[in-house]
Homo-oligomer: A and B are copies of this chain.
Amino acid sequence: MASDGLIQSLTAAFEAVPLIDPHSHIDPLSPVSKSLDDILGYHYYTELAHSAGMSQKLLAKDADPRERCREIIRHMDRYDNTAQYGWFVEIARHFLGFTGTRVTVADADTLFDASLKHFAAADWEQRVFAKTNLEKIFLTNEFDDSLDGFDTDKYVPCLRTDTLVFQFLSVGVRERLAAVTGIDAGDGPNLRKAIRALFERFVAKGAKACAISLPPEFTPSEDGNRIFWMLAENCREFGLPFDLMIGVNRRVYENGVHQGQDLFDRRCSLIQYRELFNAFPEVTFPVSVLTSGQNQELVAYSWIFPNVVPNGHWWYSNIPAYIGSDLRERLQCVPKTKLIGYYSDAYKLEFVLPKYSMYRRILANTIADEFVRPGRLTETEAVALGTRLLRDNVKEIFQLG
């Protein structure tokens, strides 16, 4: 089979694997876009347009959505080299009836109109699920989010804990915790009870993970941040994996667009998690690192610690150049049963398709180069390996039924 044929064949096989997306920011009560504005309002586009010179005036809440979209698209000729632009073209083609290969400002109104039409379909959510070959998708729930009114088998709850760990002393947090648990966490024992009550509540609703994003300097310890440590204790008790998303500094660009203000200090090491990984051998820690430069640590710590597993390709590393090298390194020295291949991190379901599509192409190329062409795996075995990264490991590690 010719080289291109191999890649096409592997990619097609991977496209046939129903996806379980283990990390997103989907709102289960409003999972799909209502207009093009929901698509182009994604921070990847507002960031790039703003970075390339677009003023923020049209990004204000009360600005006209159609004008906003036109302006973001008008700036695309400044950032149409990016991977993120590629996702948008794919969305336009798959979900908006677009047939071209490049989107320019001349397409803005047509696309906006098409979005209103297509997205208004009564079964739009189901259509997106079907077209994406999506089976389940994990949520990122605040501790006091309602977990009712949606199918938790499809939209899997996940307890996001940034607020508890880093803003517990902010106005209203303790009250919110009391409201949802019935426990006023005014002292250590009650705090412990309240946190435990959250886990009971989430697990009862089918939650499959606890998650948190952490700044580069964070170093968990039993004598340090008490709430963080309690979360790990509850993960142990309730058998939940604890997703660690390591390395983000919040609000670095103070006047950046919404969700486009966070950056990082690459001087961060997994050695900071030494005490945690040793203290909780029973807890699985799916670890995402923000920088590709930290991938070798993630590889080595996953190779040594049974409870550390590499998790997807996060944010600033969710770019083909980084995914490709990070994936290759992981495949060469971490047990394949420990590799959670990818997650979309999406805010709207329409983004799951183009993001996984990008990942599947890289996965096909990497497995072809590393395993099939050198004769280490047959094509059938290669499909099994890719399927493991795409789906099987997600099911096993997060203990989905």
Which residues from chain B contact A133 at a C-beta distance below 8 Å?
A: none
**B266 and A269 contacting across the interface, CB-CB below 8 Å:** yes
Q: A305-B51, A306-B51, A328-B321 are in contact. Are A336 and B300 (CB under 8 A)?
A: no
- Shortest CB-to-CB span from A357 to chain B, Å, is 13
From B82, B86, B335, contact of A82 by CB (8 A) = B335
**A263 and B271 contacting across the interface, CB-CB below 8 Å:** yes
**B255 and A265 contacting across the interface, CB-CB below 8 Å:** no
Which residues from chain B contact A106 at a C-beta distance below 8 Å?
A: none
**A296 and B332 contacting across the interface, CB-CB below 8 Å:** no
| Interface positions of A from 265 to 308, Cβ below 8 Å from B | 265-267, 269-271, 274, 277-278, 281, 291-294, 296-297, 299-306
**B296 and A81 contacting across the interface, CB-CB below 8 Å:** no
Q: A293-B296, A303-B51 are in contact. Are A336 and B78 (CB under 8 A)?
A: yes
- Shortest CB-to-CB span from A200 to chain B, Å, is 28
Q: Measured between alpha carbons, how far is A278 from B84 in the docked complex, in Å? A: 25
Determine, out of A134-142, A201-209, A246-254, the stretch whose residues face the partner at the interface: A246-254
Q: A253-B305, A271-B263 are in contact. Are A83 and B300 (CB under 8 A)?
A: no
Q: A249-B271, A266-B296, A278-B254 are in contact. Are A319 and B304 (CB under 8 A)?
A: no
**B335 and A79 contacting across the interface, CB-CB below 8 Å:** yes
Q: Measured between alpha carbons, how far is A304 from B48 in the docked complex, in Å? A: 7
Which residues from chain B contact A292 at a C-beta distance below 8 Å?
A: 296
Q: A51-B302, A293-B293 are in contact. Are A333 and B82 (CB under 8 A)?
A: yes
Q: Measured between alpha carbons, how far is A337 from B51 in the docked complex, in Å? A: 10
**B335 and A319 contacting across the interface, CB-CB below 8 Å:** no
Question: A91-129 vs B: 1/0 string, CB under 8 Å?
Answer: 000000000010000000000000000000000000000
Q: Is A214 an interface residue (CB 8 A)?
A: no
**B294 and A266 contacting across the interface, CB-CB below 8 Å:** yes
**B297 and A82 contacting across the interface, CB-CB below 8 Å:** no
Residue of A53, A266, A302, A316 with most chain B CB atoms under a 10 A cut-off:
A266
From B79, B254, B256, B303, contact of A48 by CB (8 A) = B303
Residue of A300, A302, A335 with most chain B CB atoms under a 10 A cut-off:
A335
**A291 and B296 contacting across the interface, CB-CB below 8 Å:** yes
Q: A253-B278, A269-B267, A304-B47 are in contact. Are A52 and B296 (CB under 8 A)?
A: no
Q: A50-B306, A266-B297, A278-B254 are in contact. Are A335 and B78 (CB under 8 A)?
A: yes
Which residues from chain B contact A296 at a C-beta distance below 8 Å?
A: 266, 291-293, 316-317, 322
Q: Measured between alpha carbons, how far is A269 from B294 in the docked complex, in Å? A: 14
**A332 and B303 contacting across the interface, CB-CB below 8 Å:** no
Q: Measured between alpha carbons, how far is A252 from B51 in the docked complex, in Å? A: 37
Which residues from chain B contact A255 at a C-beta distance below 8 Å?
A: 278, 281
Nearest residue in B to A328 (C-beta to C-beta)? Answer: B321
**A332 and B263 contacting across the interface, CB-CB below 8 Å:** no
**A84 and B333 contacting across the interface, CB-CB below 8 Å:** yes
Q: Is A379 an interface residue (CB 8 A)?
A: no
Q: Measured between alpha carbons, how far is A52 from B337 in the docked complex, in Å? A: 7
- Shortest CB-to-CB span from A70 to chain B, Å, is 18
- Shortest CB-to-CB span from A132 to chain B, Å, is 22
- Shortest CB-to-CB span from A345 to chain B, Å, is 15
Q: Is A23 an interface residue (CB 8 A)?
A: no
Q: Measured between alpha carbons, how far is A306 from B52 in the docked complex, in Å? A: 6
